[in-house]
């Protein structure tokens, strides 16, 4: 019997059980062994009702009565009374009406485990787990694993079959190199999995998880190290650094570069000279001035005879980049072209031709750049702005438009916590612009209650009176939305017809055509509009330095990093800027808003976001799912830095990964997946 043996060949697994297991996605012995418990219940601590004190408790009792009622739409409350010889305990579940059937037999004894607390004027145990006491007699297990009930698969069934596999699990061969296991100081695989399924103490569970988490992180890190190594085998164009060209460009800028910008520009120009492709991630908070750094690369590449492509996630942004870069690049004889979805017919043909015959030095655009008809003469440098908005495939498609692998610069304003930079983004070299241009004042942020809305409008009007501009951000497009969030159109009309009747107000949202959007943005940029009422389409990259106030309606409905990105639209000029987070009600503000009120530091906020939501939420569920992390969390920085060193040592040792079949299979799969945006 090995990991690939089908479950049917296990003693006691008949066709019916096999079918149940298959439905839950479990086909082989390996599937089942790696079907890890979602939790463990410590029934050794089961006590009597009279002894229960608030906190986590487990009791052994019978169910005396149980009933369910609907309290409001979509919410069902099930209440039960448990009793033993010492007393009675009330239990409450939310939206778990099936408990009534589970607990129907008044003579059956159950183990009930959960939070015992004082709530609604009485003591109760809330949302407890329940096990039949008779189910728990499998051998002498005391700490009981609880398995996910996938498609009705019962924990008892899983446990029974695993019991048959005890010896197999114990003697499972090691999947990691032995020096890696030693260096990590973790349990051997078989022992870890055994302790996961058959723990004798809470410590067993911790040790087991520690080993399994280490293995997952190690695989991920190894994949990114190997990808990085492979990148060095690729061939790119060598673009040599011309001090006069770059120096001239920098001298001609309307500002001094910050030292962060200088360092990054230097790193890029160094990478250009190498025969291997640059593969660099540039992180810089909103407003740190990433675009001009790319501009330095463009001028160098163009003057050395190479074309560049600059891809942005929205049309507004692409056009804005094109306008600002053209001003900077033209004096140096570098030509700029724009290609977006709304460049059509003859204009489109012209730009495609000019790109193919090399007349365009820098092609700036949206996703339109990756389409088939776009061909370059000699593409040397690719820049992706706001790279988390693009998928791996899109980036790849752009890179393929060159004979040799072009140099890649991926830019992001969403700071990536260190733990993720090492794992998910591990194959990239990372550059950071930590500071903002010196003249910038930190944005003053305030959470605002709708009760004092008028007071806030006065403040905004004051800013406009002194020559500044404002954003009002709303979350949804039309009024029919169930969320009652302020609709952008309605808000636009309301402001126009009342408080700000004397101001010039513009409207911007995603349902407008690209031309309409562009016209409005251009007007705002030219200060022909005082207040721009907009949805989150302005979130990414838009740059109007004269705008100094932002009011975000229903701020509590947005995510932390999105709010930070939005806020970054102000604070881009030399004036003091303000961001007001308007609550949708008068409740207490969330931690998210409080953190934003207190900090402008994108890196700090990204760590908070990671801690609060977990990487799956932030970096896309699907991708995180594909990583298949069952035990590890990417927020575990300690584990990650430990595993990182061990992975480095392994790669440097030159040991052949193929000796470790299982490990190399997983690592190979990850290699194809990493750099998951």
Residues that bind Mg ion (CB under 5 A): 541
Q: Are 586 and 616 in contact (CB under 8 A)?
A: no
370 vs 601: CA distance, rounded Å: 34
Q: How far is the CB of 439 from ligand ADP (least distance, A)?
A: 6
**Candidates 180-188, 280-288, 349-357, 452-460 — which segment interacts with ligand ADP by CB under 6 A?**
280-288
H/E run at residue 162:
helix 155-164
The single residue among 159, 486, 572, 592 that binds ligand ADP, judged by CB under 6 A, is 572
Q: With respect to ligand ADP, which residue has the nearer C-beta, 351 or 605?
A: 605
| Least distance to Mg ion, CB of residue 541, Å | 4
- Report strand pairing: 469-473 vs 531-534: parallel
Cα 139 from Cα 302, distance rounded (Å): 74
Q: Which of 159, 225, 280, 290 binds ligand ADP (CB under 6 A)?
A: 290
Contact 63, 106 (CB under 8 A): yes
Residue 601 engages ligand ADP in binding (rule: CB under 6 A): no
Residue from 37, 190, 277, 289 in contact with ligand ADP (CB under 6 A):
289
Q: Which of 87, 188, 248, 545 binds ligand ADP (CB under 6 A)?
A: 545
Of the candidate residues 419, 543, 577, 644, the single one contacting ligand ADP (CB under 6 A): 543
384-423 residues near ligand ADP, rule: CB under 6 A: 413
Torsion angle (degrees, nearest 10) of CA 417, 418, 423, 425: 70
Looking only at the bridges linking them, the beta strands covering 122-132 and 109-119 are antiparallel
CA distances from 404 to 275, 379, 587 (A): 10, 8, 57
541 belongs to the binding site for ligand ADP (CB under 6 A)? yes
Q: 291 to 310, contacts with ligand ADP by CB under 6 A?
A: 291-292
Binding mask 247-266 for ligand ADP (x = CB under 6 A): --------xxxx--x-----
- The answer to whether residues 469 and 527 touch, using CB atoms and an 8 Å cutoff, is yes
Closer of 227 and 548 to ligand ADP (Cβ): 548
Scan residues 619-648 and list those touching ligand ADP (CB under 6 A).
Answer: none
Q: Which of 30, 188, 341, 437 binds ligand ADP (CB under 6 A)?
A: 437
From the list 31-39, 118-126, 286-294, 611-619, the region that binds ligand ADP by CB under 6 A is 286-294
Q: Residues 365, 342: contact at Cβ < 8 Å?
A: no
Q: Which does 437 bind (CB under 5 to 8 A by kind): ligand ADP, Mg ion, none?
A: ligand ADP
Tell me which of 128, 284, 406, 417 binds ligand ADP, using CB under 6 A.
284
Cα 552 vs. chain centroid, distance in angstroms? 22
Contacts of ligand ADP in 356-385 (CB under 6 A): none
* Nearest-angstrom CA–CA distance, 498 and 194: 70
DSSP result, 509-568:
-TTS-HHHHHHHHHHHHTTS-SEEEE-GGGTTT---TTEEEEEETTGGGS-HHHHHHHHT
The nearest distance, CB 291 to ligand ADP, in angstroms, is 3
Q: Footprint of ligand ADP on this chain (CB under 6 A)?
A: 255-258, 261, 284, 286-292, 413, 437, 541, 543, 545, 572
């Amino acid at each position: 019997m090995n990991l690939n043996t089908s479950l049917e060949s296990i003693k006691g697994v008949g066709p019916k059980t096999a079918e149940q297991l298959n439905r839950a996605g479990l086909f082989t012995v390996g599937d089942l062994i790696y079907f890890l418990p979602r939790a463990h219940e410590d029934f050794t601590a089961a006590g009597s009702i009279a002894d229960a004190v608030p906190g986590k408790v487990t009791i052994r009792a019978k169910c005396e009565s149980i009933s369910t009622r609907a309290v409001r739409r979509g919410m069902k409350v099930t209440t039960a009374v448990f009793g033993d010889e010492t007393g009675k305990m009330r239990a409450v579940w939310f939206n778990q009406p099936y408990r009534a059937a589970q607990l129907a037999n008044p003579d059956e004894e159950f183990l009930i485990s959960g939070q015992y607390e004082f709530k609604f004027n009485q003591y109760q145990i809330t949302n407890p787990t329940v096990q039949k006491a008779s189910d728990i007699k499998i051998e002498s297990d005391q700490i009981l694993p609880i398995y996910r009930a996938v498609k009705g698969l019962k924990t008892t069934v899983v446990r029974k079959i695993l019991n048959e596999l005890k010896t197999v699990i114990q003697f499972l061969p090691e999947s990691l190199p032995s020096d890696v296991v030693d260096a990590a100081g973790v349990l051997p695989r078989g022992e870890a999995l055994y302790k996961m399924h058959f723990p004798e103490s809470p410590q067993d569970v911790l040790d087991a998880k520690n080993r399994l988490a280490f293995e997952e992180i190690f695989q991920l890190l190894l994949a990114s190290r190997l990808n990085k190594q492979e990148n060095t085998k690729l061939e790119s164009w060598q673009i040599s650094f011309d001090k006069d060209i770059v120096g001239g460009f920098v001298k001609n800028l309307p500002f001094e570069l910050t030292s962060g910008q200088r360092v990054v520009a230097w790193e890029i120009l160094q990478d250009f000279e190498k025969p291997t492709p640059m593969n660099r991630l540039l992180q810089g908070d909103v407003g740190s001035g990433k675009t001009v750094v790319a501009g330095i690369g463009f001028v160098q590449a163009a003057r050395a005879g190479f074309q560049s492509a600059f891809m942005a996630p929205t049309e507004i942004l692409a056009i804005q980049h094109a306008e600002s870069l053209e001003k900077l690049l033209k004096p140096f004889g570098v030509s700029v072209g724009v290609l977006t979805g709304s460049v059509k017919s003859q204009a489109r043909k012209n730009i495609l031709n000019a790109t193919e015959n090399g007349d365009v030095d820098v092609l700036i655009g949206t996703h339109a750049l990756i389409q088939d008809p776009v061909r370059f003469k000699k593409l040397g440098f690719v820049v992706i702005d706001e790279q988390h908005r693009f998928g791996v495939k899109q980036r790849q498609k752009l890179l393929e438009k060159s004979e040799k692998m072009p140099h890649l610069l991926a830019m992001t304003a969403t700071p990536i916590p260190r733990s993720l930079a090492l794992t998910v983004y591990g194959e990239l070299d990372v550059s950071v612009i930590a500071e903002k241009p010196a003249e910038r004042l930190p944005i003053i942020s305030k959470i605002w209650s709708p009760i004092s809305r008028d007071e806030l409008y006065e403040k905004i009007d004051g800013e406009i009176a002194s020559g500044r501009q404002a954003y009002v951000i709303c979350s949804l497009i039309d009024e029919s939305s169930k969320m009652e969030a302020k609709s952008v159109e309605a808000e636009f009309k309301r402001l126009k017809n009342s408080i700000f009747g004397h101001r010039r107000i513009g409207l911007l949202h995603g349902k407008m055509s690209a031309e309409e959007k562009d016209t409005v943005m251009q007007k705002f940029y030219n200060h022909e509009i005082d207040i721009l009422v907009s949805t989150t389409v302005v979130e990414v990259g838009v740059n109007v330095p004269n705008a100094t106030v932002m009011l975000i309606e229903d701020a509590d409905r947005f995510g932390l990093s999105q709010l930070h990105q939005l806020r970054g639209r102000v604070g881009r000029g030399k004036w003091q800027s303000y961001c007001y987070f308007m609550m949708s009600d008068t409740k207490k503000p969330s931690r998210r808003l409080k953190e934003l009120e207190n900090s402008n530091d994108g890196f700090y906020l990204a760590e908070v976001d990671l801690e609060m939501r977990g990487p799956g939420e932030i970096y896309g569920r699907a991708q995180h799912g594909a990583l298949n992390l069952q035990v590890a969390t990417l927020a575990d920085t300690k584990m990650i830095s430990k595993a990182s060193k061990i992975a480095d040592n392994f790669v440097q040792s030159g040991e052949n990964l193929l000796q470790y079949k299982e490990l190399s299979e997983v690592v190979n799969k990850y290699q194809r997946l990493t750099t998951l945006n």
